[in-house]
Amino acid sequence: MLLKMLREGLGRVLVFGDWVSRPKPIKRNEAQQQAANIDAQGLSLYQFYACPFCIKVRRKIHALNVPINVCDAQNDQRKRQELSIEGGKLKVPCLRIEEQGKVLWMYESSDIINYLNQRFGSV
C-alpha cells in the first residue's frame, strides 16, 4: 500500500511538472489544422493518467496540436477491457490506429511518438 501511495504521489508530481513546462503547440493555418483534425479522427490513446511514458506521449500530442481521443484505461473498466482484449495486452501507452477498416494497436511511447511525428510533424 505504501508503494502504491508513493507511486501515485510521484506520478502527480510528474503530471504537475508536465503542466508547468508543457511545450507550445505548433501553429498551422486553418486548412492545415482542419486536415490534421480529420486525420486524427481514427486515433485513440489508451493511457494511465500519471504514467511517465503516457505523459511523454501526451506532451507530444499537445506539441503537435492534434486532437487525439484519450482513453482512461486505468479507471474506465470498459476501456481497460478493450485494451486488454482487442489490443492483446494491458500495457500503456497504446495508440489505437483505425484507418481503412483496419485497426492497429501500437505500444511503446517512442514508437508512438515517432509515428505521430511522421504523420503530423510537418507543417
In sequence order, what are the residues at sequence separation of 6 or more whose Cβ sits closer than 8 angstroms to the Cβ of residue 117? 60, 64
Cell of residue 21, nine digits: 513546462
**Which amino acid, 17?**
G
pLDDT tens digits for range 66-101: 999 999 999 999 999 999 999 999 999 999 999 999
CA distance 18 to 55: 7
Q: Categorize the per-residue pLDDT at 123 as very low, low, confident or very high, splitting at 50, 70 and 90.
A: low
Is the pLDDT at 4 greater than 80, yes or no?
Answer: no
In CATH, what is the architecture of 2-120? 3-Layer(aba) Sandwich (3.40)
pLDDT at 121: 87
The neighbour count for residue 120, using CB atoms within 10 Å, is 23
CA distance 25 to 66: 9
Domain ranges of the chain: 2-120
Q: Categorize the per-residue pLDDT at 28 as very low, low, confident or very high, splitting at 50, 70 and 90.
A: very high
